[in-house]
Structure 1
Amino acid sequence: MTFRGIFRTDALQNLLTDRYALPVAVDHWERVEPWAVARVWLRSSSPVPRSIVVKWMPDRQGDARAAPWRLRTEPAALQFLSEDVGIGLTARVIAADTTARFLVLEDLAPRVPLAQLIRRDGAAAHGDRLAAFARGALSAATAGRAET
């Protein structure tokens, strides 16, 4: 099974087996359209999570989303936020394979994106969440941390 020909499932299984030092198998996966992202359900024993999120770099010339530097900057930013700052708003990086061009992230489900909540219920129903977004929780948490 491949993710739109971008990388092989066996590469993901091998990476996770090495990461957890336990056999890990992909049970099934579901693409999160329109991005190069999939939610992947795994078969293994604890401490392997039941599901993860895999992001891969599209194989499209001239597409900024396919730029190789993204596989270095996104994990660095996420690790900074989750490990250095300790903010619980972002997914943890589980593993990355720069050669195979994919990134494995913690699955934050069943969180529902704010935009989806607003579309479903209207803005008035989520005033507290909108206020937190407007305050810029990520910006506030990282202020003064440029050197880190």
Structure 2
Amino acid sequence: MAAAPRGIFRVDALKHLLTDLFASPVAVDRWEQVEPWAVTRVWLQGTSVLPRSVVVKWIPNGQRDARTAPWRLRTELAALQFLSEDLGIGLAPRVIAADSAARFLVLEDLAPRVALDQLLRRDGAAAHGDRLAAFARARGALSAATAGRAETYCTRRAELGAG
């Protein structure tokens, strides 16, 4: 297995959380950190009900700047749950589990994918007109679905605690 990612989430907490959620033993096969963020793709071993891999986002210990402040994780959790559970939109990864005490989220792994910004930098916009159009359609659908729904989101966010 690769060396533990910088400021690693607690792997034991992840295994326990997923074991409880899936009612089946879960082992971490390997992980790959997505630099420079506190994000790791984790491959799992266990029963067939487990996803093959998940994405884990965490708050590194000792870091409190705006990018890594604990409130950001709660805000992202609220936003992703708002989109999937309140609005029924499948435009973002699904939240599989969250552990606020251990300060991490477990998300659906949408890989293999290459980020659009990387493709644009590498090949230029002309080479990815279809992807840019799909991105614009998704942004439009997201804006239309969330318009006038701020109160629903704010209620969900407030339930996760201040800050």
* Percent of aligned positions that are identical: 77
- Structure 1 counterpart of 2:143, which letter? S
Structure 2 residue 38 is matched with structure 1 residue 36: yes
Contact 1:3 1:9 in 2 (8 A): no
- Residue by residue, what CA displacement relative to the aligned partner does 1:90-115 show, whole Å, maximum 9, x if unpaired? 01111111111111100000122111
Counterpart in the other structure of 2:161:
none
Structure 2 residue 93 is matched with structure 1 residue 91: yes
CA distance in 2, matches of 1:34, 1:124: 28
Structure 2 residue 83 is matched with structure 1 residue 100: no
Quickly say closer, same or farther: Cα 1:144–1:128, change in 2 above 3 A. farther
Contact 2:9 2:59 in 1 (8 A): no
Alpha-carbon distance, 1:74 to partner? 0.8
Counterpart in the other structure of 1:140:
144
Segment drifting more, 59-68 vs 10-19: 59-68
Structure 2 matches for 1:71-90, cutoff 5 A? 71-90=73-92
SS in 2 for 1:27: strand
Contact 2:32 2:42 in 1 (8 A): yes
Contact 1:94 1:105 in 2 (8 A): yes
- The TM-score, its normalising length taken from structure 1, stands at 0.89
Contact 1:91 1:106 in 2 (8 A): yes
CA distance in 2, matches of 1:88, 1:59: 32
SS in 2 for 1:65: coil
The CA RMSD over aligned residues, in Å, is 1.9
Counterpart in the other structure of 2:59:
57
- Residue by residue, what CA displacement relative to the aligned partner does 1:40-68 show, whole Å, maximum 9, x if unpaired? 00001122100000011122444112222
CA distance in 2, matches of 1:24, 1:77: 27
Alpha-carbon distance, 1:146 to partner? 2.0
